[in-house]
Amino acid sequence: MEFQILDFIQEHIRCGFLDAILPWITYLGSSYVILVIAIALIAIKKTRKIGIESMVSLLIMLIVLNLILKNLVARDRPCWSNDTIDMLVKVPKDYSFPSGHSALAAIMATIVTANNKKAGIPVIILALTVMFSRLYLYVHFPTDVLAGALIGFAIAFSVLLAERKIANKENNIDGNQHTTASRR
């Protein structure tokens, strides 16, 4: 069934315009680009929190997905099984499940939206486009993309929760010290 979805995209949606733009869009979801974005966000005081949350999420994602899950599941990519498709990107050498690009896209969409709902809208649209590009480019199965997106969301959500717990603890400690000092 997953090949049917991928083949439908190839037969009915594939066109010159998307052939030209989706390889560039998929590149935006790579760990290198997200790393550069996270570093840039950390360097700017106003966006430092988003950058740190992104960097922590990226590191967790690389460990969970690239080092553990991909090798544990060891699922072949669709382009490995069907070499009749004209590839628009270099054929990846690592396993397919889950999609790291989709996880990173979900991470960025979740973190940006949690910190700035207005800025989150274009990031969500870009994230969905990155996820679709992985199917269009025939490098992932739909379940790879779905699993990657869910794992990315879970990682980002966990990082956001942890950051808020730490911030609340620091605020409580500061508040308690301030209250104690004012009683003296």
143-154 pLDDT tens trace:
999 999 999 999
- CB-based contact 42:51 (threshold 8 Å): yes
pLDDT for position 168: 86
pLDDT for position 178: 52
Closest CA to 70 of 103, 26, 42, 48: 103
Q: What is the pLDDT of residues 84-133, one digit of tens each?
A: 999 999 999 999 999 999 999 999 999 999 999 999 999 999 999 999 99
Q: What is the pLDDT of residues 36-92, one digit of tens each?
A: 999 999 999 999 999 999 999 999 999 999 999 999 999 999 999 998 999 999 999
- CB-based contact 110:123 (threshold 8 Å): no
User: Above 80 in pLDDT, residue 171?
Assistant: no
pLDDT for position 104: 96
CA–CA separation, 125 and 28 (whole Å)? 13
What domains appear along the chain, each with residue ranges and CATH number?
2-183 (1.20.144)
Query: What average pLDDT does this structure show over 153-157?
Result: 98
Q: What is the pTM of this model?
A: 0.89
C-alpha count within 13 angstroms, C-beta hemisphere, residue 146? 4
pLDDT for position 174: 63
Share of the chain above pLDDT 90, in %: 86
pLDDT for position 177: 58
User: Above 60 in pLDDT, residue 10?
Assistant: yes
Closest CA to 108 of 169, 22, 40, 166: 40
Tokens of 151: 């794992």
DSSP three-state, residue 75: coil
Residue by residue, what is the 3-state secondary structure of 121-141? HHHHHHHHHHHHHHHHCCCCC
